[in-house]
Structures are given as structure tokens and as C-alpha cells.
Chain A
Amino acid sequence: MKALMSLGALIGVAGLLLLGGMIFNVIPSNTVRLVEGYMPMQMLFEFACFVAGFAGLSYMMSAMGMALPRFWQGIGFWAFVLLYLKFRVYPPIPFSVRAMYGTVSLVAVFMWVSASEEDWKKFKQPIMNVLDAQTGLNKLLRYAYLIVLPILIGGFSYNAMMPKSEEPIELRTVHPAPPASTKVHGKTYTLQTSQNPYRVNPEGKYDQEYTNANIVEQGMGRLMKPNANPWDEKNQGYLKYVREGGEIFFQNCHFCHGDNLNGRGLHAFAFNPIPANFTDPGTIAQLQETFIFWRVSKGGIGLPNEGFPWASVMPPWEQHLTVDEIWKVILFEYWHTGYYPRTWD
């Protein structure tokens, strides 16, 4: 047990030193890289390591007779969460999300320190000592709080109320609800039931399973499956159309959406927000092909009211591409990212 706790303490100290380095800008945040494809679990894993580390540290300090009071443990842990979110995770997390996480962690700290009566008493003790002010130091602290707290609250209020010149926050709807049907080149497509006509097997039949089996591998590298190279001239059906879709993509779309389809094309940073990142699991992976067909055909100008503030400069591609070309480019996007379009079975 002691060995385990010592190991935990070691992890805790190392983690704190690293975080300290990141906070004071001695060590860049990406020294310990957040590995693409594993980032979310990596973050939770790091968090778990820190908790285990703190438990070990606390145990060791108690064993050495230098136990940290519960009050400071609670405050310290909360401060750690705030600093971790601010200085460890990159790119920077928007304030609104950090505020949510910060509030939830404060609740967590409260639940932890007040879970048992004994713990709660320990936690309250320093507060009660200051309020009772039996010693000179506590008396001084009480007066200090009396002065400092109202000033702090006043400062926060002033800061919140003061008019700012920053651009206002936008509650943007990234995926507005599509219409039931859309008319492209004179033909009406029902979004719920239409299918990509090029999602076919070599025999020319619509085959979702066959096409799903031939997309690139998900995860690191996005490698092509064996015998599923669209640029092999012998391939027919789905892979042939992927190739044709790829040609259309690189002639029209990659300038903005990037050659890796991650939204970082040549012109991407001329826009705010930058173009959609198709490799993110929150974009095309969540949508039906017909949704993409509608968005590509109608572009930013065709967004519904719900899409306010219509922050998209994507052209209505129906004015430049044929229906077949649009379907093929969509086929390519799913193939290249390794995602499957949403279907309703």
C-alpha cells in the first residue's frame, strides 16, 4: 500500500511540476503532446493520474506528520482544475466552457469535503477560526476579509457591467435543421430518403456495406485498405467514383477545406470561422449524406434562419457543379476521412 501511495505521490509531484512549468511558460503546453485521435481520453487519463497522484501525496504527507488541512486540499484541488484547463489543454478552451467546468469542479470539491460529517468539520475549521477570531492573526484576517471581499465583488461587478468593445458572443448553430426536401438543378430530393447514387458495388448496385468496407482506416495515419486504392485504374464502381470525387475536390474544394480535409486550406485563415474540419467527429460523421448534399448545393447563402448569423462563405455549388459531381465529391469526403455517413435503419 505504502509503495503504491509513494508511486502516486511521485506522479503527483511530477505532474504538479510540469503544470507549474506550463503556467509560468517555462515549458510549452505541447511538451507532453495531446495525441491526435486519442486527445479526449488522454485528457481524462491525465486527470485520473493527477487525482491518484494527489491521493498519494496526501497520504505521504500525513504519514510524515505534515498533513495538509482539508480546507487547503479542497481549495488547492479546485485551483488545480482551473489551471489545468487554462494552461494544459490546447488549443485554448473558450471561457464559457471553462466556466462550466470550473463550476462543476467547485461542486465536486464541495461534495468531497462535505461527504462525511468529520470531513466537513475539518474543512470548516479554518473558516470558523477566522470568524471566531480568537487569535490575533485570525482577527487580522477577519478584518482583511471584511475589506478585501467587498472590493473583490465590487471589482467583478464593475468588470461585468463595464461596456466592452469586444465583438459579441455568437450562439451559432453549426448544423441547422435541413428542409424536408431540396430542389437542385430542377429535381426535388427528399432528404430523409434520398441516397447517393454512386455508393455502389462493382456490379453497380447500391451497397452501403461494401462502400463502408473500402473507406480508409480510421485512427492514426488514415491508411488505405488493401486492394482499395481509388487511383488504381482497374477499380470500378465505388472506388472509381471516389477517384472522380477526389479530382473534383482538389479542383474546387481543397483551397478552403484543405488537402487533408481538416479545414486548413490555403485560403482557410482568411475566414472566421475557418472552413469545416471534416476529420472532426462532430461534422460530416454526424450527418446524412443528403444533409451534405443540401449544404454543398445551397452553400452559405442557402442557410435557413436557424443558421444565424450565417457565418459561411461557401458558394452554392449547384451553380458550378452538376448533381453527379456533388454526389461524387461527398463520396470522396467520407472515404478520405474514414467516416460513415449517418443512416436511419
Chain B
Amino acid sequence: MGLLTGKRVFSIVALCMMVGLLLLPIVIALPSPAIGEEAPAGDAAKKDGDKVEKGRDVYYKTEGIVVGAPAPKTTDGPKDYPRYNFESRVLIWFANQQHLYYGSFVLAVPIFCMIIEFMGVVTKDKALAKRYDQLAYDFIKISLTAYSLTAILGGILIFTFLTLYPAFFGYLSSIFRPVMHIYALMFVAESGTLYIYYYGWDKMKEGFLKWIHLSMSVVLNVIGTLLMFLANSWIGFMMSPAGVDEQGRYLGNIWHVIHTALWNPLNLHRILGNMAFGGGVVAAYAAYKFLAAKTDEDRAHYDWMGYIAMALGVAFLIPLPFAGYWLMREVYAYRQQMGITLMGGLLAWLFIIQATMIGILFLSSNYYLWQAMGRMRGAEKYQRYIKYLVFLLICGFLVFITPHTMVMTPAELKAMGGQQHPVLGNFGVMSAKNGGINVMITTTVLSFIWYMRGNKVSTVSWAKFGNIFMGVFFACAYVNIIWLAIYGYYIPANVRVGLSVPQVATTLSCLFFMFALNSVMMRGAKQMGPIEWGKISVRSQYALIMLATAFTWMMALMGYIRSSVRLFWHVNEIMRDNSPWAYTHTVGFAANMISFNVLFFWISILFVFWMGSLAAKKAPVEAKAGIPGSVPQPAASH
């Protein structure tokens, strides 16, 4: 009892320390603007009377006292752009991308851990609870080595900026000085919390202490998310500056600098993107381990792990296009040229590649689910209808990837009789594409529902009515989505943009209502047989690897597009890029560079996985024996 009390006190103290660590940087950073910026300006005002210079915020249009220097007007030379005998931009690109990959991974995985650990805590089935707990532990173990690499890559990135783009980085850090300090200190808090969370796993595995442990994961994720928000404020500022006047002089309001036009859409898009990416990487890890497994037990464990990671990744993938749509809408609202450059102009072809990658993600997810039905007795009844799902998916996909500006030879152009194809040209615009992606997402939801009821037969008295209702609901959803896509051609653009709301609502209704209805129908359902974990085709595992690779490639592509849209500006319309590399790369070069980044990431993450497996080999026998996932249990639920 005394020991338990001692543990409680210890854990409460530990939690308080963590919260203190979290608040510390804020406390330290708070006086920073007052002492560093506003105070001198205030003093200057007193001394010089009316000589206080005021500027007008380029975005908020408010007046403020000028407290910063104008954005430097750089010139091509060793002072502003020192360089190796190589394109500096490519070096920055590489360092940035690798840091972002690892950063995303280590931010996403603790969120998974939190969810899975929570599922373990609340699950009544003790065997299943232990499996969840072990899975969460496996996840955090993978992310620990990646965490060190993230920090190392962050250091490399800063050094690359300082040495190759000193003028630009100097300007950015002069504005974001307090934010950068908070960022650095929060990184310390994140590290401390992560290590306590990881190393305290065994000591805090039961009762009240488990809840403390779980709450630590919440703290960990809050810090991680805030870290990302702060980093997003820098790129948001570069794309859509605010808080400065038209010469780039800081006007003393740090919130304006952080809260730019694109900050919130970027935050949401990145959270969802990171989660989907993290799920993909862990699923690929599980797939790799499954393919390399030598025993049925291992295969069962990694099959299950892959399924959970994929399900979490897809859960965040589904709302991702909507978040992307919001981001693009805000981009258009901020600067029309930026939107047109992205989606109709210079970078439009990259968007077609992006659409293709999104399509591959949905195809891979669906394919995995269809394969996964193979490990359930009773799922055969759905398999014969899969061809119709393939048809729906592919039709949506084809519409989604049809380019507005087609690549053709002059002879083909002449044969076509104009730049726009009268049939396919209609698929090249937003109205059709919204329909295409919503059809794909709805089909994915349908696949998931089929998977969830694969080995079950509903025993509720209204099962027949429920099935008919679900069928009609999905049919109406498809009709509504397609009808709205067609209707979009007949109405003004501003109304058409609003049509995405009922389309999304239709898709999300399928997701939430049908999932809920299905769960109610399957409560107490008759099982045709257990899910035989591990008895899944190897093709499914390649689909998971494909899913992860597509995530990685797409992330690099979208990062490149987002960055390229600034064209020849370091900070849009404020600080011009006068280096020799202020041009947009060709599509081919960009694709090669993205592929190189993807390849490098996967090689390095394999190293991380290998390190993780070394640690597992050295695990004490006692601990290994306790791994509950080593014996596959007939799962009562998905």
C-alpha cells in the first residue's frame, strides 16, 4: 500500500515536472518581445517624440510601430549566397525533406501510441488489452531511434541554412526570434517527456500509474503538435507573410507573424498528413517483418500490426483531401495568381501526379482490405462483387487524374481540333474531380464495411431491413455525389466551390452513419469463423509497402509544390530570391529529386528498423515471454 502511494506521489511529481517543462519555455519567452523589441521602440518613442515610424501590415492592414529591419535586398555573390560548386537549393531541399520525413514520423507515431494504449486500457478482454499495450510499445520503440535522427537532421538543416542562405535565414530569425526560442525549448520538453514515457512503460503498467502513463502520452502529443504548429508558422510566413510592412519590417505583433493566412489550413493538413504517413510507415515495417517472419506466430503478430497501422493511416487519409481542398481554397483567397500557378498553370502537371498518387493510396488501401477478407471464413460472399467496386474506384480515379492541359504533339493537337478535348476536357476541371475523389472515398468506406462484416452474420431481427437500408443509402450517396459533380457545370464558380460541402457531407455520412449502423447490426452477430491472423496473401503486404511508398513520394511532391509556388521569392512579395537558382525546376528534375529523397528515406529507415530489431534481440527472456501478441488469439473484434 505504502509502495503504491509512493508510486502515486512519484508519478504525480513526474507529471507536474513535465507540465512545468512544457510551460518553462513559454515563461522564458514571454518577456522576450517586451524587453527585446517593444521596450526599445517605446523608449525611442519617448526620446524622439513624434519620430516613431509606423508601418502598415501587408496582410492584416493594421498599423504598427516598425521594430525590425527591412528584408535584405540580396545580390548574387558569396556574401548573401555562399556556395559549394553545387546548387545550394538542392542541398537545402534534401536536408529539409529528410528532416520533415523523420519529424512527421516521430510526431505521428506517439499519437498512434496514445490511441492504441488507450484502447488497451479500456478493453475488457485482458489478452487483447495486453496485445494493444505491446503494440503501442513496439510503435514507440521504432520512433525512438527515429527521434534522434530527427534532431540530427534538424541540426544539419539549420547549418545548411546558415552556411548557404545566411541573409535569408538571418532575416527570418530576426522576425521569429522568440518563436525559435520557444521551439528549441519545447523540443527539450518533448525529448524529456518521450524518454520518461518510454522508459517508464514497465514501471507504470498497471492501475492508476497506467493512467498517469497514458496522460503522459497526451502531454507528449500536445507538445509535439505545438512544435509542428510553430514550424508551420515559418513556412506560412514565407508563403503568405503577415505582421510586416511591405518592406518586410517587423511591426512588433508576433501573433500576426505566426497567424498568417495559410497557417491554420497548413496545420490541419500537416497533422492529418503526418498521421497518414506515420500509419503507412509502420504498416510497411509490419509488412517487411511479415514477409521476413519464419514462424506462424510472428506472421500473425505482424499481420495484425500491419492491419492496425493501415486502419489508422487510412482513417486519417480519408479526411486529408478535404483538408487539402480547404488549403487550396485559402491559397486562392490569399492570391489568385498563386492558386492558378498551382492548379491551372506552371505547377498543374505536378498536381496531376499528385492526383495519381492519391488514387494509388486509395487503390492500395482497398486492395489490402479485399485481400484481408481472405483470412476470414464467410467473406467469400462479398468477394464476387469486388469487380464492381474496382469499376467504381477506377472510374473515380480516371476522372480524378484526367489533366486539364493534355500533353500532345502538334499533330495530335490539330487532330483534336483545339486545346480542349470535348469529352475528356470536362473531366479536367474541379467539379468532376470532386466527384471522382468522393466516389473513391465512398467506395473505400464500403470496402471497410464489407471487411468488418466479412466473417459475421447479423442476428438482429431487423437485419434484412438494415442491409437494404445500407444498400439504398450507399446508392443514394453515389447518385448524389455524381449528380452534384454534373450540376457544378451549370452554376457560378463561387456556388460550385460551395457544392463540395454537400459532397463531403455525403461521403462523411456514409462513413459515420454506415459505420455506426453496421456496428449495431453486428453486435452479437454469428461468427462464421475466427479471423486467422497471418493467413493473408503476400500481395496484401506488398500493397502496404506500396501504400507507404506512395505516401512518402506524395509528401515530397506536395512539399515541393508548396515551396515552388513562391516562384522567385524567399518570402512572397517581400524578399526576393536573387540566387542563380530562383527558377522553377523542370517536372523531370523535380520527380528525380523526389525519388532520390524517397529512396534515401527508405534506406535510412530500414537502418532504424534494423536498430530496433537489435534491441528486441537483446530483450530479457522474461520480458519476451510476457509478449502477449506472440500467440495469435481469435479476435473477437476488428
Interface size on A, residues (CB 8 A): 75
Min Cβ gap A197→B in Å is 19
For residues 151 through 182 of chain A, which have their beta carbon under 8 Å from a beta carbon of chain B?
Answer: 166-180
A189-220 near B? 1/0 per residue, CB < 8 Å: 00110000000000000001000100000110
Contact across chains for A111 and B336 when beta carbons are under 8 A apart: no
Partner of B398, one of A91, A101, A343: A101
Min Cβ gap A179→B in Å is 7
Contacts of A263 in B (CB 8 A): 418
With contacts A47-B395, A282-B429 taken as known, whether A111 is within 8 angstroms of B390 at the C-beta atoms is: yes
Contact across chains for B394 and A115 when beta carbons are under 8 A apart: no
Contacts of A95 in B (CB 8 A): 408-409, 412
Closest B residue to A36 using CB positions: B422
B84 at the binding interface (Cβ < 8 Å): no
B626 at the binding interface (Cβ < 8 Å): no
Contacts of A101 in B (CB 8 A): 398
Contacts of B373 in A (CB 8 A): 116
Partner of B390, one of A39, A94, A112, A178: A112
Q: How many Å lie between the Cα of A55 and that of B409 in the bound state? A: 37
Contacts of A342 in B (CB 8 A): 492-494
Q: How many Å lie between the Cα of A168 and that of B512 in the bound state? A: 50
For residues 228 through 282 of chain A, which have their beta carbon under 8 Å from a beta carbon of chain B?
Answer: 263-264, 272-274, 276-277, 280-282
A114 at the binding interface (Cβ < 8 Å): yes
A92 at the binding interface (Cβ < 8 Å): yes
Contacts of A93 in B (CB 8 A): 421, 424
Contacts of A277 in B (CB 8 A): 418-420
Contacts of A273 in B (CB 8 A): 413, 418-419
With contacts A40-B427, A97-B402, A281-B425 taken as known, whether A177 is within 8 angstroms of B341 at the C-beta atoms is: yes
Contacts of B71 in A (CB 8 A): none
A344 at the binding interface (Cβ < 8 Å): yes
Partner of B407, one of A94, A166, A192, A341: A94
Contact across chains for A41 and B486 when beta carbons are under 8 A apart: yes
Partner of A111, one of B367, B380, B405: B367
Contact across chains for B413 and A282 when beta carbons are under 8 A apart: no
B203 at the binding interface (Cβ < 8 Å): no
Contact across chains for B397 and A218 when beta carbons are under 8 A apart: no
Q: How many Å lie between the Cα of A93 and that of B422 in the bound state? A: 10
Min Cβ gap A268→B in Å is 9
Contact across chains for A94 and B408 when beta carbons are under 8 A apart: yes
Min Cβ gap A77→B in Å is 10
Partner of A276, one of B337, B387, B419: B419
B410 at the binding interface (Cβ < 8 Å): yes
Contact across chains for A91 and B371 when beta carbons are under 8 A apart: no
| Residue among A94, A100, A176, A272 with the highest chain B CB neighbour number at 10 A | A94
B491 at the binding interface (Cβ < 8 Å): yes
B135 at the binding interface (Cβ < 8 Å): no
Contacts of B27 in A (CB 8 A): none
Closest B residue to A342 using CB positions: B493
Min Cβ gap A279→B in Å is 9
For residues 331 through 345 of chain A, which have their beta carbon under 8 Å from a beta carbon of chain B?
Answer: 340-345
Q: How many Å lie between the Cα of A219 and that of B371 in the bound state? A: 44
Contact across chains for B424 and A97 when beta carbons are under 8 A apart: yes
Partner of B410, one of A174, A179, A272: A272
Min Cβ gap A14→B in Å is 19
B432 at the binding interface (Cβ < 8 Å): yes
Partner of A191, one of B336, B345, B415, B587: B336
Q: How many Å lie between the Cα of A242 and that of B404 in the bound state? A: 29
Closest A residue to B489 using CB positions: A281
Contact across chains for B406 and A94 when beta carbons are under 8 A apart: yes
Partner of A212, one of B336, B404, B417, B492: B492
Min Cβ gap A314→B in Å is 13
Contact across chains for A96 and B406 when beta carbons are under 8 A apart: yes
With contacts A171-B349, A175-B345, A219-B490 taken as known, whether A48 is within 8 angstroms of B391 at the C-beta atoms is: yes
Contact across chains for A115 and B383 when beta carbons are under 8 A apart: yes
At the interface with chain B, which of A102-110, A137-145, A316-324? A102-110
Contacts of A115 in B (CB 8 A): 367, 370-371, 383, 386-387, 390
A13 at the binding interface (Cβ < 8 Å): no
Q: How many Å lie between the Cα of A47 and that of B486 in the bound state? A: 17
Closest A residue to B360 using CB positions: A107
Q: How many Å lie between the Cα of A307 and that of B537 in the bound state? A: 49
A6 at the binding interface (Cβ < 8 Å): no
Contacts of B393 in A (CB 8 A): 108
Min Cβ gap B485→A in Å is 9
Contact across chains for A39 and B416 when beta carbons are under 8 A apart: no
Contact across chains for A179 and B383 when beta carbons are under 8 A apart: no
Closest B residue to A40 using CB positions: B426
Contact across chains for B407 and A306 when beta carbons are under 8 A apart: no
Contact across chains for A39 and B332 when beta carbons are under 8 A apart: no
Closest B residue to A262 using CB positions: B418
Closest B residue to A178 using CB positions: B337
Contact across chains for B587 and A178 when beta carbons are under 8 A apart: no
Partner of B340, one of A44, A169, A170, A175: A175
Contact across chains for A40 and B424 when beta carbons are under 8 A apart: yes
Q: How many Å lie between the Cα of A332 and that of B397 in the bound state? A: 37
Contacts of B340 in A (CB 8 A): 175-178
Q: How many Å lie between the Cα of A117 and that of B539 in the bound state? A: 10
Min Cβ gap A272→B in Å is 5
Contacts of A114 in B (CB 8 A): 539
Partner of B425, one of A34, A169, A264, A282: A282
Min Cβ gap B431→A in Å is 8
Contacts of A172 in B (CB 8 A): 405, 419
Contact across chains for B337 and A179 when beta carbons are under 8 A apart: yes
Contact across chains for A274 and B418 when beta carbons are under 8 A apart: yes
B124 at the binding interface (Cβ < 8 Å): no
Partner of A192, one of B336, B346, B409, B420: B336
B558 at the binding interface (Cβ < 8 Å): no
Q: How many Å lie between the Cα of A208 and that of B492 in the bound state? A: 10
Contact across chains for B416 and A92 when beta carbons are under 8 A apart: yes
The 9 closest A-B pairs by CB, nearest first: A340-B492, A94-B408, A342-B493, A177-B341, A40-B426, A96-B407, A177-B337, A108-B394, A115-B386
